[in-house]
């Protein structure tokens, strides 16, 4: 296969981490999108280094690749979803988010992960766009330096409703930072359908030079709701063809964070949907 598939642990939160990993290996996934959170690899609990080393051995035993994701809802603040963000007015709060990302970079290095995922956060009320962008640039600078030091790319995700919401916003950030080599892109295929002016397959082609991580699920135009495959509007064969054409060799991670109650079944259904539609290297592409 020309693409490697993973499944996000944020869609398997009702399972112990080892049970989730065994499930994915048994289903034939190539890897896992590991969200650092309290129920799996808690980034704030003691002995993170030792726990990470044990996990690295387990992933190797199961033959699973990994990317590290930082989208846990309440890992830093038990009362505010995704809080605090890199845009928080309080410098101490921003520093807490930076600290989480620095831990994520080290975890990724220790696991041999192909990328660390992150996002900007929403612009706080009363904050001007220019102030928000300046905060984001300042906050990401030490994270990018750490990522460069361990040679793991930082892949920021355009997220609907966030300061950095579109591919155009990614390029704006890239320019403001001076196009640093460690800065890459997380492309969420559903978000392309939801928000971008171009079709998802065209977004893949446009994003190719900066593509470091891929998330994939179904979605409808204008509605930010992650859906199982077949429940939305995306025509997936052109998207998968486009991903294969980029030469991207990271994981394409199924992202269904609101479906943990049916996680094992959806993990099975997702790989059964995607595998037959992935073009095989050297073979004609599959078309609908």
Report pLDDT digits (tens) over 132-176. 999 999 999 999 999 999 999 999 999 999 999 999 999 999 999
Residue 286 covered by a domain: no
Cα Rg, the chain, nearest whole Å = 18
pTM of the model as a whole? 0.95
d(CA 65, CA 43): 19
SS3 content of the chain, % helix, strand, coil (to 5): 45, 15, 40
Residue 266 covered by a domain: yes
What is the tens place of the pLDDT at every residue in 58-108? 999 999 999 999 999 999 999 999 999 999 999 999 999 999 999 999 999
Q: Contact at 8 Å (CB) between 227 and 219?
A: yes
Number of structural domains (the chain) is 1
Residue 240 covered by a domain: yes
What is the tens place of the pLDDT at every residue in 198-230? 999 999 999 999 999 999 999 999 999 999 999
Residue 288 covered by a domain: no
Structural domain span for residue 197: 4-277
Give residue 284's pLDDT.
Answer: 42
- Residue 193's contacts (CB-CB under 8 Å, 6 or more residues apart) are 200, 218, 219, 220, 221, 232, 233, 234
CATH number reported for the structural domain that contains residue 222 in this entry: 3.20.20.150
Give residue 74's pLDDT.
Answer: 95
Residue 283 covered by a domain: no
Residue 152 covered by a domain: yes
Helices (H) and strands (E) in the chain, counts: 9, 10
Kindly indicate the confidence band of residue 285, based on its pLDDT and cuts at 50, 70 and 90: very low
Residue 227 covered by a domain: yes
Kindly indicate the confidence band of residue 1, based on its pLDDT and cuts at 50, 70 and 90: low
């Amino acid at each position: 296969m020309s693409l490697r598939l993973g499944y996000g642990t944020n869609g398997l939160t009702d399972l112990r981490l080892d049970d989730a990993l065994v499930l994915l290996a048994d289903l034939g996934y190539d890897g896992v999108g590991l969200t650092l959170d309290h129920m799996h690899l808690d980034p704030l609990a003691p002995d993170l280094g030792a726990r990470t080393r044990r996990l690295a051995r387990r992933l190797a035993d199961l033959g699973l690749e990994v990317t590290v994701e930082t989208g846990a809802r309440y890992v830093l603040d038990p009362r505010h979803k995704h809080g605090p963000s890199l845009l928080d007015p309080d410098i101490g709060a921003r520093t807490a988010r930076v600290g989480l990302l620095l831990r994520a970079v080290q975890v990724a290095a220790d696991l041999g992960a192909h990328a660390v995922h992150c996002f900007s956060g929403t612009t706080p009320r009363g904050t001007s766009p220019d102030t928000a962008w300046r905060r984001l640039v300042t906050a990401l600078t030490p994270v990018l330096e750490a990522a460069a030091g361990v040679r793991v790319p930082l892949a920021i995700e355009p997220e609907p409703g966030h300061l950095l919401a579109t591919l155009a916003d990614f390029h704006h950030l890239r320019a403001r930072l001076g196009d640093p080599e460690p800065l890459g892109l997380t492309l969420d295929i559903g978000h392309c359908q939801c928000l971008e002016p171009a079709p998802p397959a065209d977004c893949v082609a446009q994003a190719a030079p900066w593509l470091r991580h891929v998330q994939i699920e179904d979605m409808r135009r204008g509605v930010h709701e992650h859906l199982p495959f077949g429940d939305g509007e995306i025509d997936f064969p052109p998207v998968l063809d486009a991903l294969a054409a980029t030469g991207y060799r990271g994981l394409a991670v199924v992202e269904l964070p609101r479906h943990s109650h049916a996680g094992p079944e959806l993990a099975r259904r997702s790989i059964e949907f995607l595998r037959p539609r992935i073009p095989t290297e050297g073979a004609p592409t599959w078309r609908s």
